[in-house]
């Protein structure tokens, strides 16, 4: 088995000389003696059999060969530094990985804000995000596949904290026949047209939610596909209000004038699978999600006031 003749320390010394312009400056930056810096570079050049540095005035610069070789060595140096940082984080008790199941009903904006906050604070912890629908989160929790889950129902055997309520609105494309009726609608009118619903991603105890009385049901796997189907005028459906605000404002989707059931709410909860023994990264992600949701809800409350001020 071949063993590299050069060391990462030697390449880091060479990098420091180039970055700081000379042996003395590199020695100061690395907190090494100048003789140690000179020895490392001399030894590196001897092992490689090529000249890596040349003088340019008072500064040292890479030769063409040195530039090419250091360019390839730099990713190895960065990977080694990340590896060492990761080892320090693990030694301090930070988890190597956190797994999160997110119901598709949860808004994207607060999710991304929470993930950005997590990335800034826990750079050495990997993150897995599982996108699920309805009981898919239950399956992940029961299987021990996630530490955290955002669910629409807290499954038996777990405890959860309320995060927010999401509102579903019955909508269709403006040209849909239901919107040409010029009257309020009931279940008898709805039955005659396709309704789009999102498939439960769970397999243990999949469930259906909402009104499902249409004679023709179109089942899709993604809320985005459901939105596309409704937007194309192929079906009507109850879609999350936070995901169709722009379409409602632009008039590309319109609420159905139902006598009852035009809007319905569904709560979202945050479940920590093992709250008593959760590691610091898991707890930090949970706090980030709560904080992001609070900010999201505050922005929603401020939006109508801003619109009213602009109108005035």
Do 159 and 203 belong together in one domain? Answer: no
| Of 38-47, 74-83, 140-149, 276-285, minimum mean pLDDT range | 74-83
Output the pLDDT for position 312.
44
The better pLDDT of the pair 85, 59 is held by 59
Output the six-digit token pair for 58: 């008072």
Count of domains forming the chain? 3
Output the pLDDT for position 228.
96
Q: Please tell me the number of Cα atoms within 13 Å of 146 on its side-chain side.
A: 28
Per-residue pLDDT for 303 more than 80? no
The better pLDDT of the pair 207, 6 is held by 6
The better pLDDT of the pair 277, 133 is held by 133
Do 60 and 82 belong together in one domain? Answer: yes
Q: pLDDT tens digit string along 206-241?
A: 766 666 777 788 999 989 999 999 999 999 999 999
Do 139 and 275 belong together in one domain? Answer: yes
Output the pLDDT for position 229.
96
Q: What is the mean pLDDT of the chain?
A: 88
Q: In CATH, what number is assigned to the domain containing residue 148? A: 3.40.190.10
Over range 75-96, report the average pLDDT.
75
Over range 31-53, report the average pLDDT.
91
Output the pLDDT for position 211.
61
pLDDT classification of 8: cutoffs 50, 70, 90: confident
Do 75 and 119 belong together in one domain? Answer: no
Output the pLDDT for position 143.
87
Q: At what angle do helices 8-20 and 64-91 cross, to 10 degrees?
A: 120
Which residues span the domain enclosing 53? Answer: 8-91
This prediction has a pTM of 0.68
Q: pLDDT tens digit string along 261-270?
A: 999 999 999 9
Q: In CATH, what number is assigned to the domain containing residue 261? A: 3.40.190.290
The better pLDDT of the pair 202, 15 is held by 15
Output the pLDDT for position 239.
94
Angle at 123 between CA 107 and CA 92, to 5 degrees: 120
The better pLDDT of the pair 283, 92 is held by 283
Instruction: Tell which residue, 12, 17, 273, has the closest CA to residue 160.
Output: 273
Over range 136-147, report the average pLDDT.
90
Q: pLDDT tens digit string along 161-203?
A: 999 999 999 999 999 999 997 789 998 889 899 999 998 888 7
Output the six-digit token pair for 118: 């997590």
Residue 191 within any structural domain of the chain? yes
Do 151 and 285 belong together in one domain? Answer: yes
Output the pLDDT for position 210.
67
Residue 2 within any structural domain of the chain? no
Residue 176 within any structural domain of the chain? yes
Over range 12-40, report the average pLDDT.
90
Q: 130 to each of 69, 135, 197, 221, 290, how far by Cα in Å? A: 40, 13, 20, 14, 18
Assign 3-class secondary structure to 91-118: HCCCCCEEEEEEECCCCHHHHHHHHHHH
Output the pLDDT for position 278.
85
Q: In CATH, what number is assigned to the domain containing residue 66? A: 1.10.10.10
């Amino acid at each position: 088995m071949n063993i590299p003749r050069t060391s990462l320390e030697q390449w880091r010394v060479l990098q420091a000389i180039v970055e700081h312009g000379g042996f003395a400056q590199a020695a100061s930056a690395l907190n090494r003696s100048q003789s140690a810096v000179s020895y490392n570079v001399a030894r590196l050049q001897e092992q490689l059999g090529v000249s890596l540095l040349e003088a340019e005035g008072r500064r040292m610069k890479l030769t063409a060969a040195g530039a090419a070789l250091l360019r390839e060595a730099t990713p190895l140096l960065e990977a080694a530094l990340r590896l060492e940082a990761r080892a320090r984080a693990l030694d301090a008790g930070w988890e190597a990985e956190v797994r999160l199941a997110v119901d598709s009903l949860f808004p994207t904006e607060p999710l991304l804000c929470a993930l950005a906050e997590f990335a800034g604070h826990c750079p050495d912890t990997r993150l897995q995000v599982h996108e699920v629908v309805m009981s898919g989160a239950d399956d992940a929790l029961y299987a021990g596949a996630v530490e955290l889950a955002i669910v629409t129902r807290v499954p038996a055997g777990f405890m959860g904290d309320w995060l927010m309520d999401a509102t579903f609105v019955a909508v269709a494309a403006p040209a849909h026949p239901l919107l040409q009726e010029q009257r309020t609608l009931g279940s008898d009118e709805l039955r005659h047209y396709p309704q789009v619903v999102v498939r439960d991603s769970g397999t243990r105890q999949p469930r259906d939610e909402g009104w499902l009385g249409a004679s023709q049901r179109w089942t899709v796997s993604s809320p985005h596909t459901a939105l596309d189907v409704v937007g194309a005028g192929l079906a009507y459906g109850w879609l999350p209000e936070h995901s169709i605000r722009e379409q409602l404002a632009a008039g590309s989707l319109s609420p159905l004038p139902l006598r009852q059931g035009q809007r319905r709410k569904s709560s979202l909860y945050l479940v920590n699978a093992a709250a008593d023994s959760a590691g610091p990264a898991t707890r930090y992600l949970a706090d980030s999600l709560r904080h992001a949701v609070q900010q999201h809800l505050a922005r929603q409350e401020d939006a109508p006031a801003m619109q009213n001020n602009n109108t005035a």
